[in-house]
Amino acid sequence: MKDLVIIGGGPAGMSAAIAAYESGLRDILILERDEHLGGILQQCIHNGFGLHKFGEELTGPEYAWKYEKKIIDLGIEYKLNTMVLSVSENKVVTATNSTDGIFQIKAKAIILAMGCRERSKGALNIAGSRPAGIFSAGTAQKYVNMKGYLPGKNIVILGSGDIGLIMARRMTLEGAKVHAVCELMPYSGGLARNIEQCLNDFGIPLKLSHTIIQIHGKDRVEGVTIAEVDGNRKPIPGTEEYIACDTILFSVGLIPENELSQSANVSLSRITNGAVVDQDRQTSVEGVFACGNVLHVHDLVDYVSDEAEIAGKAAVEYINKNTDAELQIVLKTDGKIRYTVPQVITKKKDVAVYFRVSNIYKNVVIKVTDGDKLILSKKKIKVAPGEMESVALKKEMLENVKELCFSLEEV
């Protein structure tokens, strides 16, 4: 029996653990399947982490180390090389490792912080051959940064997600040539600063509204045929272009790893692919919380840490039994705003609501309404799917509200 079991020792899991400790809890256990704490940050050796949280530019491992050190200093218990196999609805965690074998732990509360994985090439049904030399960008990152090997010399990248952009620069610095980054959508899903620093600074062309329609090469990749796509994302005949290359990297989206959440019967959102949560990041299963990339994909780790602190604190409140719901406000979106986190509010307190938009919009007003009543509005010069936005709701605004609709208007 444990008070709190945290699954995943990435930035989310570590921040949640520290927040729980600082709220007075001592009986905490982090289970991490990797041989280190730190999650995906361990392989992100570029800088750009921690600007919001610490006001300085850190590399991934440096950011992670700040938290890891604190975990060690506080004496918070963790088990590495330990893979959680399932979580039951009544909060029994089954895990395995080399020293304990397969074991079960019953927890009073659980925080899900398993992060996400990259969508694989296989999901895309791209025509052509299936040779060696096709990697997801994160896998290539692992070969280069963790193993010290170069998996490609002439590269085409599909998808302009942040990992793809970062890897365009990384491979270039390692002496490879990146011939193009193709993006299906008319805009990039990555951060503006990454497009500037990873592509433009190195003269790597970003081909928007383009996709790979055929892969060539029997043993190793020999080339790709790319084409421009129309408004329905269908290739336009006559725009085909052959690019010789030996490697294709895919950066076509991240999928929260929610197999364990499903085993615990947690309801998932079809839009975020993560759990549906309230302002405390509590899921549909009482005492089970979720935070970080397993909840929704974040572009900045700083927000992951913030979110995890909320979950960590709330888990302690739950264990101390101060969690009765006071209200039930459902948060809705108009489609231009794709989703919000949280999706429900059950307590009268200040709540920061995070959201993403579904397209690039300029000069917009974000509106939060309850029926005809305008609760809040916020102007933005530009919003993009790649950048997470937020609004701060004050607790007074939640008085007598039944439903909150988040909408976006172009002016």
Ligand X SMILES: Cc1cc2nc3c(=O)[nH]c(=O)nc-3n(C[C@H](O)[C@H](O)[C@H](O)COP(=O)(O)OP(=O)(O)OC[C@H]3O[C@@H](n4cnc5c(N)ncnc54)[C@H](O)[C@@H]3O)c2cc1C
Provide CB contacts within 8 A for 209, sequence distance 6+: 183, 184, 185, 186, 228, 229
For residue 190, what are the CA distances in angstroms to 11, 135, 252, 362? Answer: 20, 19, 11, 17
Q: How far is the CB of 191 from ligand X (least distance, A)?
A: 8
Could you say whether residue 266 binds another protein (CB under 8 A)?
A: no
CA distance 177 to 171: 7
Residue 71 or 140: which CB sits closer to another protein?
A: 140
Task: Report the DSSP beta bridge partners of residue 333.
Answer: 406
| Closest by CA position to 313, among listed 66, 17, 5 | 17
- Among another protein, ligand X, none, the one that 223 touches (CB under a kind-dependent 5 to 8 A) is none
| Residue 378 CB, nearest approach to ligand X (Å) | 23
Q: Tell whether residue 102 is a contact of another protein (CB under 8 A).
A: yes
Q: Which residues are at the interface with ligand X (CB under 6 A)? A: 7-13, 31-34, 39-41, 44, 48-49, 83-84, 113-115, 138, 141, 162-163, 166, 257, 260, 292-294, 298, 300-302, 304
Piece of the chain touching another protein by CB under 8 A; list 81-89, 320-328, 333-341, 351-359? 81-89
- The answer to whether 39 contacts another protein (rule: CB under 8 A) is no
Instruction: Write out the DSSP string of 282-296.
Output: B-SSTTEEE-GGGTS
Q: Which amino acid is at 328?
A: Q
HSE at residue 262, side-chain half, CA atoms within 13 A, is: 8
Contacted entry of another protein, ligand X, none for residue 143, CB cut-off 5 to 8 Å set by kind: another protein
- For residue 131, is the peptide bond before it cis, meaning its omega torsion is within 30 degrees of 0? no
> Residue 108 or 298: which CB sits closer to ligand X?
298
Tokens 């732990």: give the residue. 105
Residue 314 DSSP SS3: helix
Residue 262 found at the interface with another protein (CB under 8 A): yes
Q: Which does 403 bind (CB under 5 to 8 A by kind): another protein, ligand X, none?
A: none
For the CB of residue 259, give the shortest distance to ligand X in the complex, in Å: 8
Strand order in the sheet with 134-136: 134-136, 247-250, 154-158, 177-183, 206-208
C-beta atoms surrounding 111 within 10 Å: 32
Q: Is 284 one of the binding residues for another protein (CB under 8 A)?
A: no
Least separation in angstroms between CB 373 and ligand X: 35
Applying CB under 8 A, does 72 fall inside the site for another protein? no
Per CB under 8 A, does 2 bind another protein?
Answer: no
Residue 298's binding partner, choosing from another protein, ligand X, none, with beta-carbon cut-off 5 to 8 A by kind? ligand X
148 binds another protein (CB under 8 A): yes
Question: Which of 255, 256, 269, 241 lies closest to 123 in space, CA to CA?
Answer: 255
**Contact status: 149 vs another protein (CB under 8 A):** yes
* H/E run at residue 370: strand 361-370
Angle at 273 between CA 284 and CA 194, to 5 degrees: 130
For position 238 contacting another protein by CB under 8 A, the verdict is no
Out of 125, 232, 322, 400, name the contact with another protein by CB under 8 A.
125
Q: Could you say which of 138, 164, 223, 312 contacts another protein (CB under 8 A)?
A: 138
The rounded distance, in Å, linking the Cα atoms of 344 and 13 is 22
Convert residues 8-37 into a mask of x (bound to another protein by CB under 8 A) and - (unbound): -------------------------x----
Shortest Å distance, C-beta 83 to ligand X: 5
The stretch among 124-132, 328-336, 357-365, 402-410 that binds another protein (CB under 8 A) is: 124-132
Residue closer to another protein by CB (options 48, 115) is: 115
Within 172-318, strands assigned E span 177-183, 206-208, 210-216, 223-228, 241-244, 247-250, 254-256, 288-290
Structure token digits, residue 108: 């009073």
> Residue from 70, 142, 338, 380 that binds another protein (CB under 8 A)?
142
Q: Which chain residues interact with another protein by CB under 8 A?
A: 33, 81, 83, 85, 96-102, 117-118, 120-133, 135-136, 138-139, 142-144, 146-153, 174-175, 213-214, 218-220, 262
